[in-house]
Amino acid sequence: MSLSFPNLVLPTCVGWNFAKRRKFATVTQRPKNMRHPASATLQSSVIFELELTYEFLKNAGLTYSDDMEYIGSFYEACRGAYGWFTFDPSQLHLDTMTVVQDTTKLRNGFFAIGDGVTTTFPLWRSTSALGGGSVTQVELIQNVTLLTGIYSNGTLVPGANYTQSNLNAPPIGGAQVVFSSPPASGVVLSWAGNYSYLCKFDEDMLDADEFMYQLWELKSLKLETINL
């Protein structure tokens, strides 16, 4: 089942600095002999917390062309931290939301190795930052905004051989590709394109100050990404 969410388009007058925090949830248990604790992760993919600052937001009337009214109305429609939406930080040049199929790059689209049986795969952003010739899946992609190609061992796969969809309900979750026939065992699968985050507001209160007539300051607008 494919899901649909509204898209947040923030005003361009965002101020600096822009914060991006990487979050994980790890359970640790230390033995009585005080040796290295046992640990387990509660998530397979990174969660991002994004924090933006607005030094001024105009609000000349109750129309969606007014920045403060738009943010306030979108926030209210989401019921604060309850509702989900998509957000693309590249719209404000805050981040580069791009992956490439070349698995030697830090931002690459390696997402699976074929086993000759499986036809449905979730899409990932991966990294070779750990070195040693290995590639690690780090971010489960939720919403592809531009797909420029699916690759098998670096060779472009014809578009007729697969379908791609976004924001699918679990157990697969997020963006996925479904091949018409299973990729051969040992084949390296990768993708290239752009994507956006599935997000929610991190807090249930929007704290804005009108420091001058029809000009508002929003010191902190926090978003948190979601993994389906």
pLDDT along the chain (228 residues), means of 10: 87 79 87 78 88 75 66 93 94 86 77 95 90 84 95 94 94 92 95 95 88 78 92
Using CA atoms, how far apart are residues 156 and 101, in angstroms rounded to an integer?
10
Residue 166 confidence (pLDDT):
96
Q: pTM of the full predicted structure?
A: 0.86
Question: Is there a domain that residue 2 lies in?
Answer: no
Q: Are residues 102 and 183 in the same domain?
A: yes
Q: Are residues 62 and 106 in the same domain?
A: no
Using CA atoms, how far apart are residues 106 and 128, in angstroms rounded to an integer?
6
Question: Is there a domain that residue 64 lies in?
Answer: yes
Q: Catalogue the long-range contacts made by 131-137 (C-beta closer than 8 Å, 24 or more residues apart).
A: 135/103, 135/108, 135/110, 137/44, 137/45, 137/110, 137/111
Q: Are residues 181 and 116 in the same domain?
A: yes
Q: Are residues 51 and 76 in the same domain?
A: yes
Using CA atoms, how far apart are residues 210 and 218, in angstroms rounded to an integer?
9
Are 48 and 20 in contact by the 8 Å Cβ rule? The answer is yes
Phi-psi domain of 4 (left: phi exceeds 0; alpha: psi -120 through 50; beta: other) = beta
Q: Are residues 20 and 79 in the same domain?
A: yes
Number of domains in the chain: 2
Question: Is there a domain that residue 45 lies in?
Answer: yes
Question: Is there a domain that residue 172 lies in?
Answer: yes
Burial class (CB in 10 A: 0-12, 13-18, 19+), 57: buried
Q: Are residues 22 and 90 in the same domain?
A: yes
Question: Is there a domain that residue 1 lies in?
Answer: no
Q: Are residues 90 and 203 in the same domain?
A: yes
Question: Is there a domain that residue 23 lies in?
Answer: yes
Question: Is there a domain that residue 218 lies in?
Answer: yes
Question: Is there a domain that residue 27 lies in?
Answer: yes
Could you tell me what percentage of the chain is helix, strand and coil, using 3-state DSSP and rounding each to the nearest 5?
10, 50, 45
* Residue 2, phi then psi, degrees to nearest 5: -95, 135
Task: For residue 173, give its domain range.
Answer: 98-195
Q: Are residues 54 and 114 in the same domain?
A: no
Q: Are residues 104 and 161 in the same domain?
A: yes
Q: Are residues 137 and 24 in the same domain?
A: no
Residue 64 confidence (pLDDT):
46
Report DSSP state, residue 74: H
Q: Are residues 115 and 57 in the same domain?
A: no
Q: Are residues 127 and 53 in the same domain?
A: no
